[in-house]
Structure 1
Amino acid sequence: MQLAGKRFVLTGAAGGIGQAFAAALAGAGAQLLLVSRSEDALEALCGRLPGSGHQLVAADLATAGGRAALVTAAGVEVDGLINNAGVSFFGLLGEQGEAELRQTLELNLLLPMLLVRDLLPALQARGGTIVNVGSAFGSIGFAGNVAYSGSKFGLRGFTEALRRELADSGVNVQYLAPRATATSMNSAAVQAMNSELGTAMDPPERVADELMALLARGNGVRFIGWPERFFIKLNSVLPGLVDKALLRQLPVVRRHALAAATARE
């Protein structure tokens, strides 16, 4: 896909991955509609981006009014939608409140569905592209991330079904699955757990490079990182082996998850 002159809606633009996405897309000549809750963060980001014609929408997309503001700003000239906004609450299920569970499902799964539905006429008119940003945990369920994994499993399924539903529409539907990434979304407990387990954490720029490769090739799905890609394939055919491997990590996960719960009190 040639990005020069194309207009992309990017949600979660002020986050670590979102800022890296914005820099990569703008560097390739795309015009961006940057969406996040913080107007100050969006203005600072826009001031660093190359190119011209970028727009900002400071809105809470969890609300109907916020989504309406985005759709109004987008108008009919939309060549791409990147559903990057999301949230993660690390912790054991029994320690999480209903509000955290609802927010995880609403922002990570329901929001992309609503935005695709609302922007679909414009995307169909221009033969646009949809990229849903998932996670390795959308293919490998991981303790301490039960709600997050559930939401990303759902997003992956939504993307697959949507790609098949729109197969003859001219709209390209894609899914990008990062592994652990070094952003502020990860709490100190998550960082400590990843360090103890030896889990690699990519810089946001690596994820942005993978997004650009996904857009360039036009293929449907891109998983980032090794051995994560191997375990994703293994989990799909022999999940029992992955169960055993992850069981050895469970005491470490529980210890750090309980530390996270204590820090929130």
Structure 2
Amino acid sequence: MRLSEARVVLTGASGGIGLAITGALCASGAHVLAISRHKESLDPLLARYPDQLCWIAADLTCITDRRKVLAAAEATGGVNMLINAAGINHFAMLEQLDDAEVASMLALNISAPICLTRTLLPLLKKAEAAMVVNVGSIYGSIGYPGYASYCASKFALRGFSEALRRELADTRVGVLYVAPRATRTSMNSPAAQALNDALKASVDDPQNVASAVIHAIAGDRRDLYLGWPERFFVRLNSLLPNLVDRGLRKHLPLIRRLSHQQESEKPKP
């Protein structure tokens, strides 16, 4: 798809990867309807690209706000791309999360993109060529201790992307699934960053992820997995999961210690 002809609805536009993709799209000539709860971090881009960028405040877990996004997309003349980049994460052992935290993660990470995609599909199908881009994670292919609920949501998003691609195979709507590795965003708690540091894990800048996503969109890719050796571990996990089990088990004491240290440092009500 030619980015200069893209009319994009982009969720999670105010932070991390979403903000970087917003800037990269605008720089490429695309028109972007940016969806987020907060606007402050988008202000510089809104000032720089007043004719290309528009912001809509929305809580994507709410049906009335999803309908508001649809109305805004219709008012701007339709869309030919939806990028589902909104998401949240918690680094914690499962027993440290309460029901509300699990529910909110699943609601934003998987229910919201499924429901928003369904809402916008009629508009996307009207375009000469269109694309749904789902921003998942390497943890959508590798179950990792300390991220059980997050992995569940990203595994689900990967499965949704695969099924939707096959469901739309006889239409003009393509589906791209993007799997970043660890990325330097505000979603990472100090404990999560300490874990990355201790394991010497590579952490990407959001701008590098955005650049890779833009190239994947322009190349009409079906999936994009970022980082080495992460791509190798995805393949290894699918072929020899027991080997990955043994490797990750060695890190369990560190993961437990950091997650519980994080819990003990939370402000008490």
TM-score (norm 1): 0.96
With 116-125 and 67-76 compared, the bigger mean Cα shift is at 67-76
- Quote the residue 1:138 is aligned against: 140
- Verify the 8 A CA contact 1:14 1:45 in the aligned structure 2: no
Output aligned runs, 1:109-120, within 5 Å: 109-120=110-121
**Which stretch of structure 1 is more off in the superposition, 92-101 or 212-221?**
212-221
CA distance in 2, matches of 1:157, 1:64: 23
Q: What is the aligned-residue identity percentage?
A: 45
Q: Distance in 2 between matches of 1:12 and 1:156?
A: 18
Q: Distance in 1 between matches of 2:47 and 2:187?
A: 23
> Which residue of structure 2 lines up, in the alignment, with residue 175 of structure 1?
177
Q: What corresponds to 1:9 in structure 2?
A: 9
Q: How does 1:1-265 map to 2 (within 5 A)?
A: 1-48=1-48, 50=49, 52-75=51-74, 77-126=78-127, 127-264=129-266, 265=268
Provide the secondary structure at the position in 1 that maps to 2:177: strand
- Give the residue type in structure 2 aligned to 1:14: S
CA distance in 2, matches of 1:42, 1:22: 9
In structure 1, runs of 5+ residues without a counterpart are none
Q: CA deviation at 1:39?
A: 3.1
Distance in 1 (CA, whole Å) between partners of 2:45 and 2:265 is 31
Partner Cα separation in structure 2 for residue 45 and residue 255 of structure 1 = 40
Which runs of no fewer than 5 residues in structure 2 stay unpaired? none
Q: Which letter maps to 2:153?
A: S
Contact kept, 8 Å, 2:125 with 2:173, in 1: the verdict is yes
User: d(CA) in 2 for partners of 1:192 and 1:39?
Assistant: 29
Residues 172-192 of structure 1: per-residue CA shift (max 9 Å, x gap) = 111000000001110111111
Could you tell me which amino acid in structure 1 is paired with residue 30 of structure 2? A
Q: Secondary structure at the match of 1:35?
A: strand
Offset at residue 51 of structure 1 (A): 6.6
**How many positions carry a matched residue from both structures?**
264
More displaced, 115-124 or 36-45? 36-45
Contact 2:19/2:42 (<8 A) preserved: no
Mapped to 2, the partners of 1:53 and 1:205 lie a distance apart of 19
| In structure 2, distance between residues paired with 1:161 and 1:64 | 23
Where 2:4 maps in the other structure, the secondary structure is coil
Please say if residues 180 and 225 of structure 2, whose CA atoms lie closer than 8 Å, have aligned partners that are also in contact.
yes
TM-score, structure 2 as length reference: 0.95
Deviates more, 1:107-116 or 1:60-69: 60-69
Question: What is the alpha-carbon distance in structure 1 between the residues aligned to residue 5 and residue 163 of structure 2?
Answer: 29
The 3-state SS of whatever aligns with 1:90 is coil
